[in-house]
Amino acid sequence: MATKKNKILSTSINKKTSSLMEDFNSSIKIDKRLIEEDIAVTKAHVDNLHKLGTLSNKELNKIHKGLSSIQNEYQIGKLKFTKKNEDIHMNIEFFLFQKIGDTALKLHTGRSRNDQVATDTRLWVIKSSKILQAKIKNLMSSILKQTKIHQDTIIPGFTHLQIAQPVLLSHHLLAYLEMFKRDLDYYTFCIKGSDENVLGSAALAGSNYSLNGNLLNKKLKFTKSKNNSMDGVSDRDFCMYFLNASSMTAIHLSKLSAELILWSSNLFEMFKVHEEYSTGSSIMPQKRNPDSIELVRSKSNIIRSKAMELSNVISGIPLTYFKDFQEDKKIIFECFDELSICLDVMSDVIKKSQFNKDKGMHLCNQYFATSTDLADYLVIEKKIPFRKSYKIIAEIVQYAQKNNKNLSQLDIVEFQLFEKLIDKKIYQYVDVKKSLGRKKTPMSTNPKNVTKNIKNYESFLK
């Protein structure tokens, strides 16, 4: 029998646990974070017990008031969890026992910690997925704001980190909105995959009490219950969905970070990180380092490892519940914390930092970004096969490089050294701005397409 001083859970088989085992076995330092979910699940469960006649009106009210009091004490920092009661479930039950006495001993009727923790974790994943979706949308709004500011700013597009063709900076940034929009869908999939109530599975075989699944689902805002009790207590696929969705977001953050780090270097000079998010060197007074986005890049790679961590924990485990599952909370909590701050930091960096309006045009001219346009000029205007026109333009570019000129600085006589059919119309194809308008496909960097996509994202984010 429990007293108000000892732990709530004890068995005749193991009357005394070593202090080392208590430290090793206890998860309260980690899973205390599930307190709101656990209290909500417990309230729904006792409502069900009341419907069955297992709890009287008086007992139900005592339990509800006691649980609400525990939650209030937690919110103001008064609760002191103890490892003697192992986890969040037993700590709450013990706190309730201290408040209302033996009535609290009825709390665990018809359920197990196995279905309890699985349900708690599902609720947490649903809540956390929605929080991350909101943070992703906030980042998207910051990107969209810069997209509108730089709707007409021209930069070089890169392949293999080599300057390739002119694009609008707005078009470049819109590519990231496409990525993060997909991430929203991944979390929606995660939410749907978590939307199965496990209560009623009990330890593994199901409960001996006629728990009302519809009532439990309504109370906890699940749309359905698990079909199989053994799958209910052992399923951690939804945690993998959460980690995989987070991995994709992390990949996109890492890609964006890497690009901005390059662009902020002295070699590119295309992006200036706001002083709030850059730091100085300890010995080189001329430098400011993009530490914020470097940390986002490194943390993003750590986030990606979380899915592998959990898969290593849960793979090869037979049905049903094993203590191995205690490790899942630590992994998903760490993933959420790291990703959450990365999204916040990146959103603020994008919002406050500056893109260089002029550097991109200079780079496009300096590194022959309209060369493909010139090849197309010979195809469209002079009906020269593309492979032949490609070779002609390659020779023109080599000539310009040797003479320290860009394409616009070559006169018509110089062009005609390589192909006599070339006329002054070639300068329309040399022009970087006209290159953008020449793009025909709806997904291209054509300013009309970009304007349309910006309006679409404005509507989407509203």
Tell me, what's the pLDDT at 6?
Answer: 61
Closest CA to 119 of 213, 52, 27, 29: 213
Q: Please state the pTM of the whole predicted model.
A: 0.94
Tell me, what's the pLDDT at 9?
Answer: 61
Question: What 3-state class would DSSP assign to 321?
Answer: coil
Determine whether 12 is an active site residue.
no
DSSP state of 318: P
Tell me, what's the pLDDT at 188?
Answer: 98
In Å, what is the CA distance from 82 to each residue of 95, 182, 331?
10, 42, 22
Q: CB neighbours of 400 closer than 8 A, spacing ≥ 6? A: 368, 406, 407, 409, 410
1: pLDDT strictly greater than 50: no
Closest CA to 176 of 290, 254, 273, 263: 254
Angle at 253 between CA 279 and CA 188, to 5 degrees: 140
Q: What tens digit of pLDDT does each residue of 266-283 get?
A: 999 999 999 999 988 888
Q: Find the mean pLDDT for residues 211-236.
A: 97
Q: Which residue has the tokens 């496909």?
A: 441
Ranges assigned E (strand) in 130-242: 154-159, 162-168
Helices (H) and strands (E) in the chain, counts: 19, 6
Percent of the chain with pLDDT over 70: 97
Q: Please identify which of the residues 160, 282, 315, 459 carries the catalytic annotation.
A: 160
In Å, what is the CA distance from 22 to each residue of 38, 187, 292?
22, 36, 40
Q: Please identify which of the residues 19, 56, 68, 281 carries the catalytic annotation.
A: 281
Categorize the per-residue pLDDT at 3 as very low, low, confident or very high, splitting at 50, 70 and 90: low
Lowest mean per-residue pLDDT among 10-14, 255-259, 401-405: 10-14
Q: What tens digit of pLDDT does each residue of 21-56 get?
A: 989 999 999 999 999 999 999 999 999 999 999 999
366: pLDDT strictly greater than 60: yes
Domains defined for the chain, CATH in brackets: 23-109 (1.10.275.10), 115-156+168-184+230-358 (1.20.200.10), 362-461 (1.10.40.30)
2: pLDDT strictly greater than 90: no
Q: Find the mean pLDDT for residues 414-442.
A: 96
d(CA 436, CA 434): 5
Tell me, what's the pLDDT at 10?
Answer: 54
Determine whether 108 is an active site residue.
no
Q: What tens digit of pLDDT does each residue of 295-304 get?
A: 999 999 999 9
